[in-house]
Amino acid sequence: MDRGGCQMSGGGGGGEMITLEDLESVSEEQLSDSPEEEEEQQDRLLRYWRDVARGHQVEVPTDMAEPIQQITSNNDGAHTRESVPFTLITRKEKCGEVLYEKRHYEKAHWACITVHEDTYEQSICYGFMKIMRYICQQNAAGSYLGMTIPIVTVVRTDEMHTTLSRAVTVAYYLPAPHQSDPPRPHDPEIIIEQWPATIVYTRWFELRTSLDIRAFTGATNELSIIHEMHSLAEVLDSPSICVNDSFIVAGYTNPAAANRQNEIWFLERP
């Protein structure tokens, strides 16, 4: 894996991975506070993740069992995932439909990892698993940092915007308590970057997958993202003011869902 940078001023594009609301399909009854059942719970959750990941041709290693358990136990109604803060500047609508929003994001620290796998889906899955380990105690603080949304992935395209690069950067927004002093990752492939304040043009879109996760195809997902890039460019008044070789897909729901909720982000040139 390559550790390339992912500054917001020069990056974009990303997507969703095999977690977040993936785990909401695991009912609360499956989780127990009994220490005696923790190992059994971890095994059960690991099998669930492996089943989901198999649809993306991704292998989930055994050492992911504990991070999966931590994310799951902190993903119930008592724990609210922190959203990346922004200020809405304007919203363009037509016939009741939101064409796009223009937002301002303040400078902030993000944990980033750049991955080069055969497919986009494999890159975001493997990248997020490493980020997940960082969130779950593999950091200098030795503590669970807390989940934030969206998880974003930075993707690059060719000059004609018809093909996604194999280099995909997965990025995690550090929760507010850790913004001033981000814990150092144990994994040297994860880097902490301070992204500058940025103007973002964004719109919601869905990635539709089969209810049978085994029927999911990464190629279809990549084509859908490219289509959304072109769709957003068509509705912008001045698309030339945005960075045109990289984009962000901000993921709010999991890739196993029939309708995956995402946003495509264009970054205004500095």
* Averaged pLDDT for residues 7-34: 44
What pLDDT is attached to residue 245?
86
More confident residue, 13 or 84: 84
87 and 68 in contact (C-beta within 8 Å)? no
| Rounded Cα–Cα distance for residues 7 and 12 (Å) | 9
What pLDDT is attached to residue 150?
92
* Averaged pLDDT for residues 192-203: 96
* Averaged pLDDT for residues 24-30: 45
* Averaged pLDDT for residues 130-156: 92
What pLDDT is attached to residue 12?
35
Low-confidence winner among 18-22, 141-145, 148-152, 240-244 (lowest mean pLDDT):
18-22
3-state secondary structure 148-178: EECEEEEEEECCCCCCEEEEEEEEEECCHHH
Bridging pattern class, strands 148-149 and 164-173: unpaired
Q: Give the phi and the psi of residue 123 in degrees, each rounded to 5.
A: -65, -45
**Tell me: the pLDDT tens digits for 179-194?**
999 999 999 999 999 9
| Rounded Cα–Cα distance for residues 218 and 120 (Å) | 7
More confident residue, 13 or 91: 91
Task: Provide CATH code, domain 81-267.
Answer: 3.20.80.10
| Rounded Cα–Cα distance for residues 236 and 252 (Å) | 23
Q: Is the pLDDT of residue 257 over 50?
A: no
Identify the band that residue 33 occupies on the pLDDT scale cut at 50, 70 and 90.
low
Chain mean pLDDT for the chain? 80
What pLDDT is attached to residue 253?
67
Which residue, among 1, 5, 14, has the nearest Cα to 168 in the 3D structure?
14
More confident residue, 85 or 14: 85
What pLDDT is attached to residue 40?
79
Tokens of residue 26, six digits: 């695991």
Query: How do the domains of the chain map onto residue ranges?
Result: 81-267
What pLDDT is attached to residue 239?
87
**Tell me: the pLDDT tens digits for 207-234?**
654 434 333 344 557 888 888 999 999 9
- What is the percentage of the chain residues whose pLDDT exceeds 90? 41
What pLDDT is attached to residue 43?
83
| Rounded Cα–Cα distance for residues 21 and 72 (Å) | 9
Q: Is the pLDDT of residue 47 over 90?
A: no
More confident residue, 270 or 33: 270
